[in-house]
Amino acid sequence: EAQVTQNPRYLITVTGKKLTVTCSQNMNHEYMSWYRQDPGLGLRQIYYSMNVEVTDKGDVPEGYKVSRKEKRNFPLILESPSPNQTSLYFCASSLLLTSGRSTDTQYFGPGTRLTVL
Amino acid sequence: AQKVTQAQTEISVVEKEDVTLDCVYETRDTTYYLFWYKQPPSGELVFLIRRNSFDEQNEISGRYSWNFQKSTSSFNFTITASQVVDSAVYFCALSETRATGGGADGLTFGKGTHLIIQP
């Protein structure tokens, strides 16, 4: 089954304790992306990756890191989480179109609900 | 900059009524894609439809239909004979094509419309 998986689904942690949210897709998609969803703000892109070893900032990258060592995996790293990073996080993947200048339909993982105390 | 506006924060209707969710977008690009996603109470994001900027044909899928009008920059979503299972938050989103340079823009989402279908 084609899917995007995320782990963990729920996480409660404390300020400053490093954490990693994993994301994996089995569709051989080049493009992967992380979004956060906050009440009243909708979804905003944090980071994206066009392919292995190619990553770039989205709209709200502060406080996050990513890596893309393998095509299927795109972990999101919070090295020193703070309460304002409490949010619902989604990973997404898609094919690239138009010589890499746009994306096809993005398929989303189930979400990770993170609470930072 | 691209922008997506869903002016209806919340809509409540009684089951079997028809309901239309509005989406208005702004873009300077001539090539772009529009999407609708559904987020049920369980929280996942479910893809519903993708439409490219060169295809203004309306689309119907069962009880769902979409009306794309470039002249008014709108991409509205109608549910006919609504059912309780349609209760969810619905997001409209826009994806542009970069004219130059590397990278591909992510989706720009509207803030969503919470649809409540009462039995």
Q: Are strands A87-94 and B88-96 parallel, antiparallel or unpaired?
A: unpaired
Q: Do A111 and B47 count as a contact with CB atoms less than 8 A apart? A: no
Contact A103 B109 (CB under 8 A): no
Model pLDDT, residue B103? 56
**Which residues share a beta bridge with B119?**
none
What CA–CA distance (Å, rounded) separates B35 from A109? Answer: 17
Cross-strand bridge partners of residue B40: none
Written as tens digits, the pLDDT of chain A (117 aa) is 889 999 999 999 999 999 999 999 999 999 999 999 998 888 999 999 988 998 999 989 999 999 999 999 999 999 999 999 999 999 999 988 767 667 788 999 999 999 999
For residue A105, list chain B residues with Cβ-Cβ distance below 8 A: 35, 47, 50
- CA distance to partner chain A, nearest, from residue B83 (Å): 24
B84 SS3 class: helix
Q: Which two tokens stand for residue A56?
A: 């770039």
B104 → closest Cβ in A43, A101, A110: A101
Question: Taking CA atoms, what residue in B is nearest to A6?
Answer: B44
At B7-19, the pLDDT tens digits run 999 999 999 999 9
- Return the structure tokens found at A83: 């309460």
Q: A90 CB near a chain B CB, below 8 Å?
A: yes
Contact B109 A107 (CB under 8 A): no
Q: Measured between beta carbons, which residues in chain A are less than 8 angstroms from residue B37?
A: 108
Tell whether A105 lies on the interface with B, counting CB pairs under 8 A.
yes
- B90 CB-near residues (< 8 Å, 6+ apart): B6, B21, B36, B37, B38, B39, B48, B77, B112, B113, B115
| Residue A44 to residue B111: CA distance in whole angstroms | 10
